Structure 1
């Protein structure tokens, strides 16, 4: 009898897996914070005998190397992956025994497309494939994006995704569970699905890689590719070099004077509280990245890489969780931190600053000159509709394009409020008069605003 436990990495939209029998288990695509994986194995009472990577990841720092070192597990990495550390190079068709008593074997299946060396792993029980770990190959209703390695390879890799998907469904039974790493909000996915689980048979009937001819599939796949988070450029090299062990000890605590000094030095001071609390009062110059949102994705995307970051949190628990999430994308050690509320983070004689929040209905009541409507959604979102007359600067580019925002009071919106809050904090820190539209974009037309497609 076998088991598969899912280890959610929700902030990054990924999943890792622990799978095995009664004695030993394999870990697939582990996150940087391996204590969660070790705890999962302890709950099962199994020894981790193998750690495997489906590919060298572009969207997060792997914990595979350290997990293998600590547990003594064999570290399986595709043979063609260029890495700087010792590992067990995996070749197409190889089988690795996971649990002899349970009859569990892992079979490597070369599935290039997401990367040239990408490898999926079929979990076989007594010779029958019961599940397949597909990493960034066959996802739920889609495939992993093919444009993260090298622009000149993108079309070839897109065609390889089509071929790899067909190989998987040809070699595996319809009943086999498909267990991808990406596709749950990850920017490594070429699309998103609300479906939580799937099988080979279900993908045969619904996945475009399996229902479309190769030319049509590739054309649609390439046309639908979205922006690539800037920090991805640092993840692949970090994983190829071999990530350092993770240090989650609490950062040094900063008082109001140190916070002010770090702001004056051009460092980033990040307020992790929710956007409502931030708008009502915050340290002037600080930036709002909600701990409950996609903190790692958006902070790592916007911050100048390597710039010191100080975290302001409402509680020690919030700080610790944020530190863990940021470490997953290589922001390892906050320069400093503080816990509490803005009154404790501002120097004597200074007061927290604030800006208003509003809805699209409020915006509709304030037309006229002097009003700037700033849309910070991605290009793909704006293509489906926009507020007439709005300025478009995606939030991940705003830091370097603040000078493009016209004069006047800026009403900034996104699709739901989180990114608008980030943008509002950037504008507020730059001294602009800003209103954060904390509303769903669907409300714009209902409020009487003219929504047009470009």
Structure 2
């Protein structure tokens, strides 16, 4: 009897899979931190005989090459992918034996990338699961614009054709097990759930219910911002990632933290936004370890700039280090644990800023204040409506566009509070008076604030 275990990487919105039988398994689209994969296989008491990539990933650094090296597994990579290391090139229709009665069949599904390949797990000749990578997702498809802008429309059309091929060739009960689509920016739209089948997708997925022209037009119109670090992931994966190093970083004392701040390096405070607002080392930035740390820090930091991590505990540093390694920020320059008073220790000043709600903003306006209101949501979010009079700079652009923020006290908001805290910390580090709105955007209307709703055609 086959199984397919999910290895979730929530911070990036991705899934890897451990699939096989009682003795042997294949790992599909493994994460960089392969110790999780090895532990999962050990728990099952199975041997990893193959590692399969659906495509050269644009959103994270793969652990596939190192996993195959350590386990002696065959490393399956689509034949059309240009990579700089030995692998087993996989073409449409190729079959890999996994365990007794279990095989993995390659199905060419271009669209997310030109070489994208899905894999169908077959038990005694019957398809039981489709590992669809960035092709057919739950309620959508992988975005087609991450390879080359001139190929975007062509790849969008290929996505439609690939989805229809899978739907035509596989029975309705076959499980759809994608890599992307659980919050990943590789997905063209928000996912429609946690589990699905070919039959479910046939009646709900736009790629399968829309004609190709409507599908392509809607897909291209809905494409969102691309995280800046994506530009570095494909080349890293094509070159062959180095083994991950999760050993403890160098410890930083107060003098070292002050020195790194003075040198213009990034000092990142991993604590919750409430604690950060109450007190932090002046000049540090707030990226919560429980937020989408890897996505937003990797998106914003100038690539290659040293980063020092500050956290309450060594466990939080280790968690952050693991997340950052997944997107190619391999080694923190240094780290410190404890509290702001310890990190400053009289060497650096401490700072704080106010947190507020949308009701507080409404009250301030009623009392005659006219603060700058800064909306740091993405453009796709703001297109659905915004606070009247607000300025818009997405959080991932704020550090490069500080000179565009009008003079005066700045009230920063997003959709829920986390990104507002990131932007507030950047503004605070630049010496601006700031208030972080730690509130859900829906509360703005409840507070009586005027919202602008764009007209729809």
TM-score, normalisation: structure 2: 0.98
Q: What aligned pairs does 1:25-424 form with structure 2 within 5 A after superposition? A: 25-100=25-100, 103-348=101-346, 351-367=349-365, 368=368, 370-424=370-424
Superimposed CA distance per residue, residues 211-240 of structure 1 (whole angstroms, 9 cap, x where no aligned partner): 000000000000000000000000000000
Moved over 6 A (4+): none
Q: Distance in 1 between matches of 2:349 and 2:70?
A: 48
Does residue 445 (structure 1) correspond to residue 445 (structure 2)? The answer is yes
Contact 1:78 1:118 in 2 (8 A): yes
- Equivalenced residues, count: 452
What SS does the corresponding residue of 2:303 show, helix, strand or coil? coil
What are the Cα deviations for residues 283-341 of structure 1, in whole angstroms up to 9, with x where unaligned? 00000000000000000000000000000011011110100000000000000000011
**Gap change, CA 1:255 and 1:206, over 3 Å in 2:** same
CA distance in 1, matches of 2:264, 2:350: 19
Is the partner of 2:30 in helix, strand or coil? coil
Deviation per CA, 1:120-176, whole angstroms, max 9, x where unpaired? 000000000000000000000000000000000000000000000000011111100
SS of alignment partner, residue 155 of structure 1: helix
2:127 and 2:35 map into 1 onto residues whose CA distance is 29
- Displacement of 1:445: 0.6
What whole-Å deviation, never above 9, does each CA across 1:389-444 have from its counterpart, x for those lacking one? 00000001111100000000000000000000000000000000000000000000
- Show the 5 A alignment for 1:6-25: 6-25=6-25
User: 1:370·1:407 contact (CA, 8 Å) conserved in 2?
Assistant: no
Unaligned runs of 5+ in 2: none
Tell me how far 1:192 sits from its aligned partner.
1.1
Cα separation, 1, equivalents of 2:277 and 2:86: 50
Structure 1 gap segments, 5+ residues each:
none
Contact conserved, 2:16 with 2:27, CA < 8 A, in 1? yes
The C-alpha deviation readout for 1:77-98, integer Å capped at 9, x for no partner, is 0000000000000000011100
**How many Å separate the matches in 2 of 1:228 and 1:123?**
32
Q: Mean alpha-carbon deviation: is it higher for 444-453 or for 68-77? A: 444-453
Q: 2:202·2:208 contact (CA, 8 Å) conserved in 1?
A: yes
Cα pair 1:343 1:351 within 8 Å, conserved: no
What SS class does the counterpart of residue 108 from structure 1 fall into? strand
Separation (CA, whole Å) in 1 of partners of 2:211 and 2:231: 32
Q: Secondary structure at the match of 1:220?
A: helix
Report the aligned-residue RMSD: 0.8
Give the conservation status (yes or no) of the 8 Å contact 1:3–1:21: yes
CA contact 2:280–2:350 (8 Å) conserved in 1: yes
